[in-house]
């Protein structure tokens, strides 16, 4: 029997809330809506973190952030365990990635280690016979060029004997939101001047520091621009799926459409974007749509699922078990002891596969440095905290390292505006105990502080000042990455 291909498509920074297949009032995702009608929509999918690096690391390892140790406090995926690409390589798959996000790469961060064929998409050079738009009004963040690269890759590789894993990341709708035409005109709020919309500041770090203030009215304009970005990527994704259908590839390919995180656009005061300093649902609640063999058509699943579940799902579908790991000692140990996600196939039934979704945010080293560099008077101690949360279908408990814990009744307060921990301390206490029990049950790793200055290009003086206060630690004997 032919084993299935796998396609993981990450819509970078795409929240679930502004997708029409998730009930949004504007038709932002007609291509995805049609695609989802042939598969499964997981209504309550939550990422384990709030930004690119840790969530992609969780996607490729099947581990929570504390399980792989890679986050804003340590911007590097260590080599102590196998990735999805490495496992599939060892079991006869061809693995490739076409990625628009520079954080997800193979050398400086090692997030994408293991892929045999990997392309970081630049924005300038053409890739004939598919070319990016020359018209400045139609230029995008790379998805049009990615369409061409994906088509080219499928032409070259998809008909070979080996099944494949193809990973795609497109950075629409990542800030700064400025969709190409015709999507900008279609979704920009009626009566808003384009030049005015262009000049609304979308500066997440400066916004969090209070240096930039955006009015509620302007946030609505920003959100409409985000809708245009979503619609743009949706159209490009439709081109890829249609091409796969034409070539006869789609019928034996299991497609995962998801996102690494969402963003916050004025819902919580000064918080903007995804600054690695909060743990709101606007950043955690993201799409997950799965279509292909083994998945029913037109099903909506309410059970809680997470990004970490994609890895074990693929292992099950590819029939890769501990016994088939051959001499791969790292894989045998991981399958036996360290797999922290659960197969999505088990979520298709009547019983939930977890009681709560968990997410984490480490001490935010990168915001320390960036905000200190851009806003020299900013005191980073006000964001010097870590977060962990347990999110059920009814409540969300947020543990904070500075004792400022929070509790929200999600059913009556989905925007997390009223902290009710003082009103219902017993619920917070119960969820805190369950969260602790879960943390005790999984393998965790702490590699110490590592700010990826090769990638960030942070000013050395700023780093020295932060290290002087002990906010960033130079740990003696820690691993060093060049």
Distance between CA atoms of 360 and 71, rounded to whole angstroms?
9
Buried b (16+ CB within 10 A) or exposed e, 100-113: bbebbbbebbbbbb
Distance between CA atoms of 398 and 357, rounded to whole angstroms?
12
Q: Which two tokens stand for residue 95?
A: 């693995």
Distance between CA atoms of 303 and 276, rounded to whole angstroms?
26
pLDDT computed for residue 348 by the predictor: 97
> What share of the chain has pLDDT > 70, as a percent?
90
- What does the pLDDT look like over 103-122, one tens digit per residue? 999 998 999 999 999 999 97
Distance between CA atoms of 262 and 264, rounded to whole angstroms?
7
- What does the pLDDT look like over 240-269, one tens digit per residue? 999 999 999 999 999 999 999 999 888 887
Respond yes or no on whether the N-terminal peptide bond of residue 129 is cis (omega within 30° of 0).
yes
Q: Torsion over CA of 348, 299, 42 and 230, rounded to 10 degrees?
A: 160
Are 175 and 263 spatial neighbours (Cβ–Cβ below 8 Å)? Answer: yes
- What does the pLDDT look like over 10-53, one tens digit per residue? 999 999 999 999 999 999 999 999 999 999 999 999 999 999 99
Distance between CA atoms of 396 and 46, rounded to whole angstroms?
12
Are 16 and 41 spatial neighbours (Cβ–Cβ below 8 Å)? Answer: no
Buried b (16+ CB within 10 A) or exposed e, 414-451: eebeeebbeeeeebbeebbebbeebeeeebebebebbb
Average pLDDT over residues 314-331: 71
> Is residue 450 scored above 80 in pLDDT?
yes
Chain centroid offset of residue 287 CA: 10
Domains of the chain by start residue, with CATH: 5-348 (3.40.720.10), 357-468 (3.30.1120)
Mean pLDDT across the chain: 89
Q: Is the dihedral of CA 359, 365, 370, 376 positive or negative?
A: positive
The whole-model pTM stands at 0.93
> What share of the chain has pLDDT > 90, as a percent?
68
């Amino acid at each position: 029997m032919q084993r299935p291909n796998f396609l993981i498509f990450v819509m970078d920074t795409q929240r679930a809330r502004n997708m029409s297949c998730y009930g949004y009032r504007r038709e932002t995702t007609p291509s995805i809506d049609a695609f989802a009608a042939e598969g499964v929509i997981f209504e309550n999918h939550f990422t384990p973190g709030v930004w690119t690096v840790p969530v992609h690391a969780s996607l490729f390892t099947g581990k929570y952030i504390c399980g792989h140790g890679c986050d804003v406090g340590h911007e590097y995926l260590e080599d102590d365990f196998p990735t999805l690409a490495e496992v599939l390589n060892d079991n006869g798959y061809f693995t490739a990635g076409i990625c628009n996000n520079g954080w997800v790469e193979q050398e400086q961060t090692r997030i994408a280690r293991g892929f045999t064929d990997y392309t970081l998409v630049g924005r300038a050079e053409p890739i004939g016979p598919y070319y990016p738009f020359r018209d400045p009004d139609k230029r995008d963040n790379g998805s049009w060029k990615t369409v061409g690269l994906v088509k080219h890759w499928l032409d070259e590789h998809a008909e070979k004997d080996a099944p494949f894993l193809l990973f795609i990341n497109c950075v629409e709708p990542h800030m700064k939101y400025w969709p190409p035409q015709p999507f900008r005109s279609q979704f920009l709020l009626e009566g808003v001047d384009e030049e005015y919309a262009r000049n609304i500041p979308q500066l997440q770090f400066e916004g969090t520091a209070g240096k930039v203030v955006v009015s509620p009215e302007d946030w609505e304009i920003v959100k409409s621009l985000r809708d245009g970005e979503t619609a743009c990527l949706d159209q490009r994704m439709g081109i890829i799926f249609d091409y796969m259908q034409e070539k006869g590839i789609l019928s034996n390919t299991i497609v995962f459409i998801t996102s690494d995180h969402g963003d916050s656009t004025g819902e919580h005061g000064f918080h903007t974007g995804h600054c690695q300093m909060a743990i709101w649902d606007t950043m955690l609640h993201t799409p997950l749509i799965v279509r292909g063999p083994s998945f029913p058509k037109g099903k909506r699943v309410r059970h809680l699922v997470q990004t970490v579940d994609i890895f074990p799902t693929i292992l099950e579908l590819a029939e890769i078990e501990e016994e088939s790991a051959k001499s791969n000692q790292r894989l045998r140990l991981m399958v036996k002891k360290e797999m922290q996600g659960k197969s999505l196939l088990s979520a298709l039934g009547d019983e939930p596969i977890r009681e709560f979704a968990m997410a984490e945010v480490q001490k935010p080293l990168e915001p320390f440095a960036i905000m200190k560099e851009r806003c020299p008077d900013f005191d980073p101690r006000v964001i010097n905290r870590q977060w962990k949360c347990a999110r059920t279908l009814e409540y969300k408990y947020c543990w904070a390292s500075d004792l400022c814990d929070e509790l929200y009744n999600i059913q009556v307060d989905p925007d997390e505006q009223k902290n009710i921990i003082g009103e219902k301390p017993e619920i917070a206490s119960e969820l805190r105990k369950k969260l602790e029990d879960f943390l005790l049950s999984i393998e965790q790793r702490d590699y110490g502080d590592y700010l990826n200055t090769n990638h960030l290009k942070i000013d050395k003086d700023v780093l020295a000042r932060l290290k002087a206060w002990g906010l960033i630690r130079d740990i003696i004997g820690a691993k060093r990455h060049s």
